[in-house]
Amino acid sequence: MGRPLGPVAILGGVSLALRGRTVLDGIDLALGAGETLALLGPNGAGKTSLMRLVAGRLTPDAGSVRVGGADPHRSGEARRAVGWVPQEIALYPRLTVAENLSVFAQLSGLPRRDRREAVARVLALADIADVAGRVVATLSGGYQRRVNIAAGLIGQPSLVLLDEPTNGVDLAARAAIHGVLQRLREQGTAILIATHDFPEAERLADRVAFLAQGRIVREGHLADLLARLRTGTPERELILDTAPDAAAEAVLRRAGFAPAGASGLRWRTGERAGLDGAALLGTLRAQGVPVSEVRVRSPRLETLYLEALRPRDVGETGAAARPLTAGLTR
């Protein structure tokens, strides 16, 4: 993927507190024309608040937000340059697709004479002209997502913000949405996408930014980050028979592994193990870890994410992080 053509949005030293809690703390971020930036982080990290700042829905307590050189909270022109696609379906369920888009064209300030053409344009862009006359409530979730995106594109924004755009859709709808985003990118539109889907981010993004506890803990061009990661040690993934108890979890964390899913059955590390797969399996089992399989593979975006969010000095169990071999041979 190519480099950005020019700046569209810039956040400098942005901090924000909501209801007495710091949500964003010293955020520096820039997004260029024709560039896609994937924003990744756990729930509550501040991703949606950051997007609301860029959209002009909120104003920072410190720092500045600029879209096209203007403050989107104060400038109507800057706000109109932003297409906001929330995670929730923000459509009128009893209106047809075309009627919905016409309403959003009116709300975006388009003159009446331009609305029909704008509706036709986004129907084609989102590849949903075949359902233009259907009532939204009768559409599948995937089609509703695509209409939701089309509504955000009605004013031909130079920057599009998407919050979990493929949440809950099937593979066909996901592919269709990815096609829409690729066409936008080819037109020079800047895209900021918040997602928990690592393969999606790898497929779509030029750059990634990992957000944790209101701060960006790592940011850069995806290809460069992955290239540097893959020159090191292959990633090791453990498959467990059952979720580990406290003692087994302590062994895994001392060894440099981190959970790779909510179930607790998959653990992963990119650290140098010093043991082959069979030896690692035997050593972990001897220490009470219910591991059934060790997999070795090239690191991917999820590895970067886990590494960026893992505490550096003190692990979650309170034990200082150790090299993998030391953790296994204690």
Cα distance between residue 147 and residue 129, in whole Å: 10
Q: Is the pLDDT of residue 285 over 60?
A: yes
E-assigned strand segments in the chain: 7-18, 21-32, 36-40, 62-67, 82-85, 159-163, 190-194, 207-212, 215-221, 235-240, 258-259, 266-269, 291-297
Long-range pairs for 223-231: beta carbons < 8 A, 24 or more residues apart:
223/1, 225/304, 226/299, 226/300, 226/301, 226/304, 229/270, 229/299, 229/303, 229/304, 230/298, 230/299
At 235, is the pLDDT very low, low, confident or very high (cuts 50, 70, 90)?
Answer: confident
* Tens digit of each residue's pLDDT (9 = 90 or more) over 200-213: 999 999 999 999 99
Confidence of residue 261 (pLDDT cuts 50, 70, 90): confident
Tens digit of pLDDT for each residue in 66-87? 999 999 999 999 999 999 999 8
- Identify which has the larger pLDDT, 234 or 225: 225
Cβ neighbors of 162 (< 8 A, separation 6 or more) are 85, 149, 152, 181, 191, 192, 193, 194
- Kindly give, in sequence order, each residue whose CB lies less than 8 Å from that of residue 100, ignoring residues fewer than 6 positions away: 91, 92, 136, 147, 151
Decide if 236 contacts 280 (C-beta within 8 A): yes
Measured distance CA(240)–CA(31) in Å, rounded? 41
Q: How confident is the model at residue 6 (pLDDT cuts 50, 70, 90)?
A: low
Q: Is CATH 3.40.50.300 what the domain over 7-226 is classified as, yes or no?
A: yes
5-30 average pLDDT score: 90
* pLDDT for residue 55: 94
User: Looking at the chain, how many residues does it have?
Assistant: 330
* Amino acid found at 222: L
**DSSP β-ladder status, 207-212 and 190-194:** unpaired
Q: Is the pLDDT of residue 231 over 80?
A: no
> What is the rounded average pLDDT of the residues 285-297?
87
Nearest to 119 by CA among 109, 104, 134: 104
| Whole-number pLDDT of residue 313 | 41
Structure tokens at 49: 């608040």
Indicate left, alpha or beta for 264 from its phi (over 0: left) and psi (-120 to 50: alpha): left
Domain spans of the chain, in order of start: 7-226, 232-329
Residue 108 has pLDDT above 60, yes or no: yes
Name the pTM for this structure. Answer: 0.75
